[in-house]
Amino acid sequence: MIASPSFTPYNYRVPLITREGRWNVIPMTALVECIPNFSEARRSDVVEKIAASITSIKDARLLDRSSDLDHNRTVLTFAGPPAAVEEAAYLAIKTASELIDLNQHTGQHRALVQRM
């Protein structure tokens, strides 16, 4: 019986079995992907500021941006080491919360907001 190699958080080891049936362990840094949706697509300056907040974080890489004008939603896909993605996600949320007023939001599937 072949025992599986162990891994530690944020320093994963990818197990591969050689032709001889032995374990060959390759060190690998953890990679996290984040795919948040933001309730804005029609104001490109707002979307650009949210994307810029993500790319301002070292090691966070913006992989894709998709905006739907009918639904007024933008999806940003970014990845990187766990700490960088966590920081980028927090900063993107902070930026979006400062620039987007859901009381004024319109789109095919309007945001559910309690009006006071």
- Beta strands 61-68 and 73-80: pairing type? antiparallel
Please state the φ and ψ torsions of residue 97, each to the nearest 5 degrees.
Answer: -65, -25
Using the structure block, give the residue that is written with the tokens 């958080």. 9
Query: At residue 89, what is the residue type?
Result: A
Residue 105 falls in the annotated catalytic set? no
- Please tell me which residue in 43, 94, 109, 110 is annotated as part of the active site: 109
Tell me how far apart the alpha carbons of residues 37 and 50 are, in angstroms, rounded to a whole number: 11
Query: At residue 51, what is the residue type?
Result: A
Q: Which residues are catalytic?
A: 109
